[in-house]
Structures are given as structure tokens and as C-alpha cells.
Structure 1
Amino acid sequence: MSSNSKEKDMPVTRGARGAPAPEAAAGLAAGSWAALLAPRLAQFAGVARHEHVTRAAEELAVPQPTLSRAVVRLERDLGVTLLARHGRTVSLTPAGRAFLRSVERALAEVERAAEAVRADADPSAGKVAFGFLHTLGPETVPGLIRAFRADHPRVRFTLVQNYGEAMLERLRAGDLDLCLTAPVPEAPDLVARRLDEQRLRLVVPDDHRLASRKRIRLAEAAEEAFVTLEPGYGLRRITDDLCAAAGFRPRVAFEGEEAETLRGLVAAGLGVALLPPPAVPRPGVAELTVTAPRAVREIGVAWLDGHPDTPPVAAFKRFLLSRRGRLLPG
């Protein structure tokens, strides 16, 4: 006889009323109770509420024998008597009352969760989790949301500002539906579409030797100290690449986490920086157009490949794609 056949023939230790003995019930793998019990919790709660199987069956729209068997199986799985039978009526045992309190909390939480995800997917009033770069926060993103909500006034947004790599990780983790980032990412698990490009300028202190210039070749700044974003930021990678294309490696004096902080460091005379235009002109600096190499950063929208969109996310994605070439203000 095979070992599988022996296992099938082995008796199961059972306690009172045919329920598994406590030691047998305790052998269930961790996490399996929810899968085992969840389909019968609402049925048990209905019987407990009515204290009558027939009336509960009518409310739940299931045959009375089916409901009776479900509650008996629940008791057997738990190894505990939950209901005392009195003819056609039932009453809760002490164990049943304790179990019911937790069951009602669990069912209420499931109801709230179901309502929340249904609300987030509502085409007219759902939610979009949207990430974007800090530099797009002052003007670009508020303008986009305002334009989108002209036709979708009740759609809600969860907004997340961060640097590119951090946003892509949150996209992969399911925390974001869409993100605006630069440079446009290339990854097998993501879909990305280029939307626009933004010119970068060489920002220098207003008393700098180059401050009177309108245009400059980046190679002319090869000897300058640079202030840049930290490694891992998209703008840092673009800065390094542009400097390499100009024939030098930037001498980094300070590293930061936010573009406007870098602009302040430049104003303080601590170096020069390659930055996108500010939302509001910053005193103390001069901003020069870089003529060579072509100094731009491409901005795109990214989302997780194969991830199904809710109606509000799909609508906002279509809106963003319709803004190709006119994403940025001005």
C-alpha cells in the first residue's frame, strides 16, 4: 500500500459533536483559518442575529438545509460549539457570543474595504494616486489637475512628490497609479511615454564672471564647482551625462535633494548648477542658455505594465497623453 493510501485511511481524532479535537484543529497551517472560515462567517452571523435558522436562510437567500450544514461545518472546523439548538430556534453559547463579536467586526471591516475600493474605482468620483518630481510641483502639476478636473470635477487625487527612482519603486509596489518623471524610464516592467522636454540652464551667481552672458557652451564651465542633486536623482544623471558630452567630469562641491535648494546655494556663491527654469525668478542668480550640448530633460509618464486601470486612472492617463508637447507651462 502506498504512503498516500495510508494517509487517507488514517483516522482523524474528533471531539464532541464530531468536531476535530483541539490538537487536530491546532494543526492547521498559519494563515489557513481565514481561507477556511471566511465563506461561512456571514452565514453564522445571520443565524446568530435571528436565533432562527429558517428566518436567517430567508434573509441570506440560501436553502435552510444548506445554511444548517454550513454552521455545523463551521463548528466542526473550529472544534467549538457555537450554537445551542432548541427545536427550531438557536441561542449562542458563551464561545459563540465571543466569536460573534469578532466576526461582526471582521465583516464590517470587509464591508468598509469593499466600499472604499468601489469608491476609488468610481468613474466620476474615484481616486488617482499620482507621483511627480519636485520641480513639477509649483506650476505643472496644479495646472494639469485643474485642467483635468474641468471635465472630471469629482475625481480625487493622492499626490506624491519624490525623485525619479523612488517614484518608480512606489509604482512597482502599487502605491502609485501613474508618475511624471525624468528622464523617461526604460524598464521591462514599466510602460513609459515621452510627453515633453524642458530646457536646462546653467545657473551662476549674479556676480559671477559669466553672469553677463546670455548663452554659453557647457565646456566653458569645466573648471567651475558644481552643486548638484544626489546620485540616484534623474537630474543628477542628466547633469553628469551633459558634462561628459561637453568633455569633462563635474567637480561637485555640494549635493542636495531639491532643485530650489541648489539654486539658493548658487545664489550664495557656492557653485554653479544645471537646473530647469524656476516657477518664480530667484534673486541673486543669472540663468544662461546652454548652446552645446543640447541641454534638455525629457519628461514622461510611466505606469506598471499589465496593471489594470480603474476608470478614473484610465481617464487621467488619456488626458496626460493628450498633452504631448504642451505639458509644461509657458
Structure 2
Amino acid sequence: MVHQQRSAARLSPSSDTEDTTDMGMLLAPRLAHFAGVARTEHVTRAAQEMNVPQSTLSRAMARLEQDLGVDLFARHGRTVSLTPAGRTFLTSVERALAEVQRAADEVRADADAATGKVAFGFLHTMGAETVPGLLHAFRADHPRVRFGLVQNHGEAMLEGLRAGQLDLCLTSPVPDAPDLVARRLDEQKLRLVVPAEHRLAGRRRVRLAEAAEETFVTLEPGYGLRRITDALCREAGFRPRVAFEGEEAETLRGLVAAGLGVALLPPPTVPRPGVVELAVTAPRAVREIGVAWLADREDTPPVAAFKKFLLSRRGALLPD
């Protein structure tokens, strides 16, 4: 028999998931000790290298074998050698310890003040100009800080904060939730975008109520700009008739240019042929832009530096 079995009734084979989880928790603290003894093949030498009492290490190895129900070591006086079961176990233990070390190195690197990483989310409409400008300005003083960038709609980014996938996000409307901290940074005027041949295209300004009979193209429900559009139309006294729903503002501009409707949108980065952008005089058509983060989460140094930078841009976040 290759593996000498130890009697351990409490560890009888089971397919129960909870038993498997408990075994992992039971074994994990002793894996590094096992690898040290296996590497030196000498308990005393391993204890000296790991700076633990020899008696503690000996008891840990005996308990590990008892928990597994197999002999991992053959004893030869003061030295030990791995059994076939021990060699099999060591292969996986070394792989697991290397992965833990890699993960530890990675999270330490991400938290480094000079070269760490910030997971930063922002709205699609801020990706072409606003965010690149912000990152360029920030890296003037923090040239080696790295960024993981995520473009998405507001609700998805807030869920990313809660799931630990994002450190900070720029979003609109500014969220109000007990588990989040949010600060208003700026506001952006929205315009009524109409086709170039539209009846209102010769105007510079318009009341939103004048578009009450128009067909609208909008972002999908759940997007912040969609909620703002619905609220502004409601304030103007009508409910918009929505013909097309999309996921990106410039796609909506293309639909407007094709004569498929009108839209309330922030200013474009580059003027779009085929449309006219009208200032809305009533109601006041703006969207607030804010930065949000998860409450009670301690910032790493690079995240703290970037948060401070964003808050310093209040009132000057967006291009004129």
C-alpha cells in the first residue's frame, strides 16, 4: 500500500462541501511549516530557519498527518524524508504557497504610494476628453501611479464600488446612499439635439416643452442620463415618447442626425454633422457630476492621492 492510512474517524471521506471547506481552513496555517520541513528534511533545521520552537513544529507536523489521515514523513532519527503521499502533497502545497505569495506581492504593489494602482470608473460621455485630461494632470505629480479604467453607466459603477472592483467613480446623478460617500464636483449643461432639417433647427434656445410632441431617442433605463431626461421632461409637463434606446451618447447623436428623433445630451467632444444643439432655457437642464467611493473603506496611498486631486477640481472638472 502506497499511503499508510491513519485512523481518523472524524475525517472519514465525505462529498459534503462544508467538510471540504473546513479541511481547507484546518490545514492552511500549517502548510508553510510542512513545506519548510520538506525542504530541509530536518525538523530542527526547519524550526531554526522559520524561527519557531522545534516542539511546536513537531506537533504541527504530527497534527497535520493526523488531520489528513496519512503519513507524510518517514522518520530517521533526527532527519525525515517524504513518503510518496508527502511528495504528492508537497507539489500542491508549493503551488498554493507560490500563488499566495504572488497575490501578496500584487496587492502590496497596488498599494505602493509611488507606483500603486487606482481602479477608476467613469461615464462613457467623459471618456473622450474629461478623463484623459484629469489623468494627464494628476500624473504630472504622480508619474508612475497606474490606473485600471472602467467605463460604464452610473448604477453599474456603484455596484462595482460595493463589490470592491472600483476604488472611485465619476458618475451622475450624484448618488445618495448610506453605504457610499459622494461629493459634487461640477455640473454640465444638457442640450436639446435636433436634426439639421428640424423645425427648431434655426433656433439657438428652446423651452423643453416645445419638444413635447417630438419622438425622443434616449439611453436605456438605469442610466443616469435617462433618469435626468425623464425628470426634466416631467418638469416641462410631458412624458417623452421614446422610439430608440441606446447605451452611448454619440450613438444617440447619430440617430438624431438620421432624423429618428431628438435627444437631451451633454455637449459633444467634436461637433457632429447633421445635428443642431439648442440651449434649453426652461427647465434648467443640467446634470451634476460627482465622485463616489465606498464608506468606511480605507484608501491606499495612490487612491487617497487621486481622491484628493479630484476634490481639488471642484467647479473645474469639465472643460468650458
**Normalization by structure 1: what TM-score?**
0.92
Deviating above 3 A after TM superposition, structure 1's stretches of 4 or more consecutive aligned residues are: 22-28
2:91 maps to a residue whose letter is: R
2:218 maps to a residue whose letter is: T
2:136 maps to a residue whose letter is: R
In the alignment, the residues of structure 2 paired with residue 111 and residue 188 of structure 1 have an alpha-carbon distance, to the nearest angstrom, of 36
**Residue aligning to 1:246:** 236
1:102 maps to a residue whose letter is: S
Deviation for aligned residue 1:29: 2.3
**What RMSD over aligned residues (CA atoms) do the two structures have, in Å?**
1.4
In the alignment, the residues of structure 1 paired with residue 247 and residue 274 of structure 2 have an alpha-carbon distance, to the nearest angstrom, of 20
In the alignment, the residues of structure 1 paired with residue 27 and residue 264 of structure 2 have an alpha-carbon distance, to the nearest angstrom, of 60
Say whether residues 1:209 and 2:225 are aligned partners.
no
Asked if the contact 1:218/1:292 (under 8 Å) is kept, the reply is yes
**Residue aligning to 2:11:** 24
Among 92, 104, 107, the residue aligned to 2:97: 107
Say whether residues 1:321 and 2:308 are aligned partners.
no
Asked if the contact 1:224/1:272 (under 8 Å) is kept, the reply is yes
Q: Which moved more, 1:62-71 or 1:294-303?
A: 62-71
Deviations for 1:10-56, whole angstroms, at most 9, x for unmatched residues?
xxxxxx89x54266354672301222111111111111111111111
Aligned residues: 314
**Normalization by structure 2: what TM-score?**
0.95
In the alignment, the residues of structure 1 paired with residue 123 and residue 26 of structure 2 have an alpha-carbon distance, to the nearest angstrom, of 45
Asked if the contact 1:20/1:78 (under 8 Å) is kept, the reply is no
Deviations for 1:264-320, whole angstroms, at most 9, x for unmatched residues?
000001111100000111001100000111000000011111112111111111111
In the alignment, the residues of structure 1 paired with residue 24 and residue 106 of structure 2 have an alpha-carbon distance, to the nearest angstrom, of 21
**Residue aligning to 2:121:** 131
Q: Give unmatched runs, 5+ long, in structure 2.
A: none
Among 82, 88, 97, the residue aligned to 1:92: 82
**Where in structure 2 are the equivalents of 1:1-330 lying within 5 Å?**
19-21=6-8, 24-26=11-13, 29-330=19-320
1:320 maps to a residue whose letter is: L
In the alignment, the residues of structure 2 paired with residue 315 and residue 174 of structure 1 have an alpha-carbon distance, to the nearest angstrom, of 18
Deviations for 1:59-78, whole angstroms, at most 9, x for unmatched residues?
11112222111111111111
Q: SS of the counterpart of 1:120?
A: helix
Q: Give unmatched runs, 5+ long, in structure 1.
A: 1-15
Asked if the contact 1:202/1:274 (under 8 Å) is kept, the reply is yes
Q: State the identity %.
A: 79
Over 3 Å counting, the alpha-carbon distance change for 1:179 and 1:293 in structure 2 is same
In the alignment, the residues of structure 2 paired with residue 71 and residue 313 of structure 1 have an alpha-carbon distance, to the nearest angstrom, of 42
Q: SS of the counterpart of 1:241?
A: helix
In the alignment, the residues of structure 2 paired with residue 49 and residue 25 of structure 1 have an alpha-carbon distance, to the nearest angstrom, of 29
